[in-house]
């Protein structure tokens, strides 16, 4: 029996539980604007960039014009001052295009603009934030090192204070946007304590070679950052934070965006699966008419809907300033995992066609493998929750 549900409608997002009824007009407007922009500007070109291993640089100024960089920061230094829910919806729509686009926006706003705003001085805010909001300056965030990923406190990069400079030595690895960035927020140990520094492109002793050979996030630039007696002026230290809570505070912001963004990748895989199963005929019927296929589609919608409700409530708590980092861990961990599982089931539903770049499935699946690892691996978030539940840290 035919039934008028999602099958008969054109794409208007996935909103089975009427999340929209909880959104403001501005949130709906920005979500729809970004959704349309992704359809028009990202989806037609992203696969080529993915195959070539290039980032679509031409999109940066457009993202800036839409006010998406650091859009949830205050308007004082030129940011859009949107709600955290609006920011989450933007991440969701961008990642339906590709995780690389959401990553670019996450790194710029949450990992580079945020530490300058939260820990920087007035001159640093005035110098960098207005241009970063417009996309005229690109930022990156250097925490991970070859020998310290999940345990960033074990970093070896050092800063030494001389009369006129800080001198940085060491290396960062896996840094999104590194090679194309104008500035890098770099975390290094000064007198044994973790401090943040702003390193600029062109600083003597600083280089940012691109890392090649990725099978995931191919439309994103990933780099090493190398510091060899790199001298930076004294006024480039972030004066208002010391210790691991500096970088971890930034990660809370970015993990929040991923909790929403990963749902976008899941939605892309779900919609493609729904459309494909209605059009693919086997045994003289659309495969959508078989119970096992419907079971898979129903499971996808179920997981996406639960993930949306998690993200929505997380966003409300962030907007109310009651959100704690452990709540972000739960949503990042859950939503990335279900997105990856949905991508895998979607691949199966598309049969052999599921491996082709005509469909977004394998691209999302491969991207999500990185998303599961970066910003704290799935298991690190499990342990963060384990510590919250038991009071016992099981990291060591």
Task: Tell me which residues are annotated as active site.
Answer: 375
> What is the distance, to the nearest Å, from the Cα of residue 338 to the centroid of all Cα atoms in its chain?
16
- CB 236 within 8 Å of CB 165: no
CA nearest to 297, candidates 5, 25, 81: 5
Beta strands in 260-356 (DSSP E): 281-282, 285-286
Question: Cβ 152 to ligand FAD, closest distance in Å?
Answer: 8
- The minimum distance between CB 377 and ligand FAD, in angstroms, equals 3
Q: Is 222 in the site for ligand FAD (CB under 6 A)?
A: yes
Q: Which is nearer to ligand TGC, 83 or 222 (CB)?
A: 222
Helix (H) or strand (E) holding 132: helix 122-134
Q: Which stretch binds ligand FAD (CB under 6 A): 6-14, 143-151, 302-310, 341-349?
A: 143-151
Number of chain residues interacting with ligand FAD (CB under 6 A): 20
Among ligand TGC, ligand FAD, none, the one that 115 touches (CB under a kind-dependent 5 to 8 A) is none
CA distance 350 to 352: 6
395 forms part of the interface with ligand TGC (CB under 6 A):
yes
Q: Which does 175 bind (CB under 5 to 8 A by kind): ligand FAD, ligand TGC, none?
A: ligand FAD
- Three-state DSSP class for residue 105: helix
Q: How far is CA 185 from CA 97, 108, 124, 148, 378, in A?
A: 27, 10, 12, 17, 24
Binding residues for ligand TGC, rule CB under 6 A, total 26
Distance in angstroms (rounded) separating the CA atoms of residues 158 and 99: 32
Q: Decide: 256 and 318 in contact? Cβ < 8 Å.
A: yes
Q: Answer with the entry of ligand TGC, ligand FAD, none that 248 interacts with (C-beta below 5 to 8 A by kind).
A: ligand TGC
Q: With CB cut-offs between 5 and 8 Å by kind, which of ligand FAD, ligand TGC, none does residue 249 bind?
A: ligand TGC
CB of 117 to ligand TGC, least distance (A): 15
Positions touching ligand FAD (CB under 6 A) are 107, 141-144, 149-150, 174-176, 217, 222, 370, 373-374, 377, 379-380, 383, 395
Positions touching ligand TGC (CB under 6 A) are 103, 106-107, 141, 143-144, 150, 152-153, 176, 243-245, 248-249, 251-252, 254, 325, 374-376, 380, 384, 393, 395
């Amino acid at each position: 029996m035919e039934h008028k549900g999602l099958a008969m409608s054109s794409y208007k997002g996935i909103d089975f539980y009427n999340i929209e009824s909880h959104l403001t007009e501005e949130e709906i407007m920005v979500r729809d604007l970004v959704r349309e922009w992704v359809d028009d500007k990202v989806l037609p070109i992203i696969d080529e960039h993915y195959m070539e291993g290039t980032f679509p640089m031409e999109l940066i100024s457009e993202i800036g014009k839409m006010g998406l960089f650091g859009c949830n920061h205050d308007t004082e230094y030129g940011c859009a001052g949107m709600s955290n829910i609006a920011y989450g919806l933007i991440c969701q729509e961008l990642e339906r295009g590709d995780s690389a686009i959401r990553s670019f926006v996450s790194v710029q706003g949450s990992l580079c603009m945020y530490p300058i705003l939260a820990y920087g001085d007035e001159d640093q805010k005035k110098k960098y934030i207005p241009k970063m909001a417009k996309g005229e300056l690109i930022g990156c965030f250097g925490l991970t090192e070859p020998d310290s990923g999940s345990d960033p406190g074990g970093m070896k990069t050092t800063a030494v204070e001389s009369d006129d400079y800080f001198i940085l030595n060491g290396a960062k690895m896996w840094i999104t946007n590194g090679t194309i960035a104008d500035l890098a927020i770099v975390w290094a140990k000064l007198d044994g304590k973790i401090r943040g520094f702003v390193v600029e492109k062109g600083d003597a002793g600083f280089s940012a070679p691109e890392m090649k050979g990725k099978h995931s996030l191919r439309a994103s630039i990933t780099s090493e950052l190398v510091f060899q007696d790199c001298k930076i002026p004294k006024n480039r230290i972030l004066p208002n934070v010391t210790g691991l809570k500096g970088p971890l505070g930034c990660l809370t912001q970015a993990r929040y965006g991923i909790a929403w963004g990963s749902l976008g990748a899941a939605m892309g895989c779900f919609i493609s699966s729904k459309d494909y199963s209605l059009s693919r005929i086997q045994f003289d019927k659309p495969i959508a008419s078989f119970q096992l296929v419907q079971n898979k589609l129903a499971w996808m919608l179920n997981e996406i809907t639960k993930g949306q409700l998690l993200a929505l409530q997380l966003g409300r708590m962030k907007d109310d300033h009651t959100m704690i980092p452990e709540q972000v861990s739960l949503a990042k961990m859950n939503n990335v995992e279900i997105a990856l599982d949905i991508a895998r089931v979607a691949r199966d539903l598309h049969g052999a066609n599921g491996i082709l770049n005509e469909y977004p499935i394998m691209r999302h699946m491969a991207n999500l493998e990185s998303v599961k690892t970066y910003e704290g691996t799935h298991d690190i978030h499990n342990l963060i929750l384990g510590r919250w539940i038991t009071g016992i840290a099981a990291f060591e």
